[in-house]
Chain A
Amino acid sequence: MVTSLLVSLWAGICAIDDIGTQMIRRPLLISTVVGLIMGDLQTGLLIGATLEVMWMGVGNVGAYSAPDIITGSAIGTALGILSGGTATAVALAVPTSLLAQQLLILYRSGIVYLNPIANRIAETGNFKKVFRIQYVPMILAFLVRAVPTFLAIYFGAGAIDTAVEALPDSIMDGLSIAGSIIPAVGIGLLMLMMIKKGELWVFLIAGFALAVYLDLSVLPITLIALPLAYLYDLATREKETKPESKSKDSDDFDDDEEDYDL
């Protein structure tokens, strides 16, 4: 009871962060704290890392509301820890995030009613009043995430437990194997956004090779990537400025040295 209240309180805080400062809002951070609350930091970390990568490319773009990864992470992690596994967490987080997405759309449609209110405040010409309009939606946003989280954890824990016990081992094994393949979805989505030119593939392969053959972790590979990014910028920039510099200087200089002056 106390843990489900605390986890839902945390989900509510994350909800306000999501529409406000946007400092937490990611599975790795949400799940770690859920793990801390429930006294199983290690499992929280594992679940958080898996969900983080799985939902990497997922986010609101423009008017489109993405699956609600906040509620999904909070509920998935909490129930995953209770039934002891990353597999259950992933299996639960996906449908929960889709259901919670509908609530989120409802929230953003509902607060359309703030527009006439804002207009009325504008009529008064009183600048001070505008800021107050935020309070009610903040409470709503808190509840939209906290209440479902509480219900799911408080009433769902028992049901999930019996369901997990009833399932044959082979299905549970398959689910945990799926857990280590599913991150490909998040990565695939991200690649869709990032590979704008065919030549960029070489960098992905290089990163992969560094990890596979040299056993480097992500941080050193990021550092190695920095000079490469700089060189790539130099190479592509030269291409763009060349015609301009030629038209200006071609009469005076025709030496090769000209290229190095850039």
Chain B
Amino acid sequence: MTEHTEQNKITKKDLNRIFWRMQLMNVTNNYQSMQAIGFLSSFTPVLERLYADKPDELKTQAMKRHLEFYNSHVNANALIMGVSAAVEETTTEEEKETVTAIKTGLMGPLAGIGDSLLKFTWLPICGSIGASLALNGSVIGPILMFLLYNTVNVGTKYYGIHIGYKQGVQMIEGAGGNFLQRLASMANVVGLMVIGALIASIIKINIDAQITAGDNVIEIQEMIDQVMPGILSLLVTFAVYKIFKRTNGKYAPQLIVGIMILAILLTMAGVLG
């Protein structure tokens, strides 16, 4: 650990500059180093501060250090950059391996949490609320979706950097990690209830066919509705889920085309209407 002078201390403004710069983090996302270039270009305010009075070779070393392969979730990046800033500030030039170690140690698990919390829970919840309003012809749908999603999207990026810097590594290794896991499982519950509601309100299957027994005409759809309205939607979704489970989530486009063909054939045969 080094004593650092006041001018070499990372300021709030530096962290805010990271926030603005990281908005473009994925621009340079490529198949070789993924987000490495993006990480460096977002992270430079910190390096500029810490290496202001250091020789050029050290600056080069610092830049190269952050050009190594890196990939995580966009919102988790904020937290990782905050933590990395704290570590950069408190390590000597000989200890810099720690920075890379912590970065690469965090990017995997946090990417997983970021994906499951934001991409697969919060975004779908916002999307469902927006879509169900939009289906009734309300412009509030997309507006609400935009506001709901981006409050969290922008909020996690902004506070991620600051919290990450302030709390450093302890936060993620200590209670913080546990808290994120719990948040993920709570979000999971909300998300699944929303999905259940979505199945009922968006997937519509109506059977047109009738059974004629003597003089009696039995509407199949009416019969089904008496058992449970919308049960066909539930069954179809369950079938799709089972297919994905077997194929590991692949072949979604093929499945869409398959449903199209099946729906056209069944409509022609007068089963669906």
Contacts and interface: CB of A to CB of B under 8 A. Distances in A.
Interface of A: 16, 18-24, 26, 28-29, 32, 41-42, 45-46, 48-50, 52-54, 56-59, 61-63, 67, 91, 94, 97-98, 108-112, 114-115, 118-119, 121-128, 130-131, 133-134, 137-138, 141, 170-171, 173-175, 177-178, 180-185, 187-196, 200, 203-213, 216-219, 221-222, 224-226, 228-230, 232-233, 236-237
B48 interface: yes
Contacts of B131: 28, 48-50, 52-53
Given A181-B236, A194-B188, 13 more contacts: A20-B24, A23-B153, A32-B142, A52-B127, A62-B111, A125-B57, A125-B63, A127-B63, A175-B263, A184-B236, A185-B240, A209-B196, A218-B132
Contacts of A52: 127, 130-131, 134
B195 A191 contact: yes
Nearest to A41: B139
Nearest to A209: B196
A211 B234 CA distance: 12
A211 B200 contact: yes
Given A29-B142, A98-B253, A181-B263, A233 B185 contact: yes
A88 to B, nearest CB: 12
B227 to A, nearest CB: 11
B210 interface: no
A31 B13 CA distance: 37
Contacts of B57: 125
Interface in B26-55: 26-34, 36-37, 40-41, 44, 47-48, 51
A21 B99 CA distance: 26
B60 A122 contact: yes
Given A23-B153, A111-B30, A225-B189, A208 B119 contact: no
Given A111-B28, A174-B268, A229-B190, A45 B137 contact: yes
Given A45-B141, A98-B253, A122 B64 contact: yes
Nearest to B251: A185
Contacts of A191: 192, 195, 237, 241, 244
Given A98-B253, A125-B57, A190-B124, A208 B30 contact: no
B47 A127 contact: yes
Q: Bin chain B's interface residue count.
A: 35 or more
A7 B32 CA distance: 32
Interface of B: 21, 23-34, 36-37, 40-41, 44, 47-48, 51, 56-57, 59-60, 63-64, 67, 71, 74, 111, 115-116, 119-121, 123-125, 127-135, 137-139, 141-142, 145-146, 149-150, 153-154, 182, 185-205, 228-230, 233-234, 236-237, 240-241, 243-245, 249, 252-253, 255-257, 259-260, 262-268, 272-273
A28 B134 contact: yes
Contact of B195 (A121, A125, A207): A207
B113 to A, nearest CB: 13
A232 B256 CA distance: 35
Contact of A204 (B124, B193, B264): B193
Contacts of B243: 188
9 contacts: A20-B27, A48-B142, A57-B120, A127-B44, A127-B63, A185-B252, A207-B193, A211-B230, A218-B197
Contacts of A211: 196-201, 230
B146 A23 contact: yes
A182 B204 CA distance: 10
